Amino acid sequence: MPTGVHIQDPRRQLLDAAERVLLRDGPSGLTSRAVTAEADCAKGVLHRHFADFDDFLAELVRERIARLEDQAVSLRGAAGTGTVAGNLVTALTGLFDPVAIGVVGLVVFRDELRARLRRAWPGIPVLTEAAALIAAYLTDECDMGRIAADADVDSLALSLIGAGHLLFAGRDGSPPEPGEVEQVVTAVTADVVQRRLL
């Protein structure tokens, strides 16, 4: 007799469940038992598809990083259109969705996961990749003459990611108002946007 219902895509079901648990209970609540209970499957299903729980969590982080590639294409496609500040506000709002904030918290919370991820990524995964995509966008805007030619795009990107993370993290489910994000973006980029006119 069968012992359970066949799961069509167990990896996807487990990763989706992990995101829900992370959003609901935070990094400290993300345990293998919580994930398998949320996915409505036996604990052995997780261990059949992943070497251990940290391997599973590393895949959750890798998936989040892979999603940044689509955002990078969209942001770089916006170069030369709209306003630099407007494009950056849209990008930061997309980058710092609740799952991304939760994943960053998870990486900071779990030492073994962070050590495992550092083998492939320096810094804090997700934030490091987000800074790189912002820097690439700013480089495009620099090449188009919409920001100063001597702009330190890497430092600007780090400033925007740090400020963006502080704006979006630690809120009770409600993101900052677009005006708050725009105010920070404008303050960080004002010099390079104004100097290109000189």
Q: What percent of the chain lies above the pLDDT cut of 70?
A: 94
Separation in Å, CA 59 to CA 50, 64, 81: 9, 9, 35
Task: Reply yes or no on whether the pLDDT at 174 is more than 90.
Answer: no
Task: Reply yes or no on whether the pLDDT at 5 is more than 60.
Answer: no
- Annotate 22-46 with DSSP letters as a single string: HHHH-GGG--HHHHHHHHTS-HHHH
User: What residue ranges define each of the domains in the chain, with the CATH number in brackets?
Assistant: 7-50 (1.10.10), 65-195 (1.10.357.10)
CB-side exposure of 84: number of CA atoms within 13 Å?
31
Tell me, what amino acid is at 60?
Answer: L
Q: What is the pTM of this model?
A: 0.87
Q: How far is it between the farthest Cα atoms of the chain?
A: 78
Separation in Å, CA 84 to CA 139, 161, 163, 167: 12, 15, 17, 19
Task: Reply yes or no on whether the pLDDT at 196 is more than 90.
Answer: no
- CA–CA distance, 52 with 58 (Å, rounded to integer): 10
Write out pLDDT tens, residues 16-60: 999 999 999 999 999 999 999 999 999 899 999 999 999 999 999
Question: Poorest-confidence range of 77-81, 97-101, 155-159?
Answer: 97-101
Question: Poorest-confidence range of 24-38, 120-134, 163-177?
Answer: 163-177
Tell me, what amino acid is at 41?
Answer: C
The closest alpha carbon to 156, from 125, 188, 109, 178, belongs to 188
Write out pLDDT tens, residues 53-83: 999 999 999 999 998 888 999 999 999 999 9
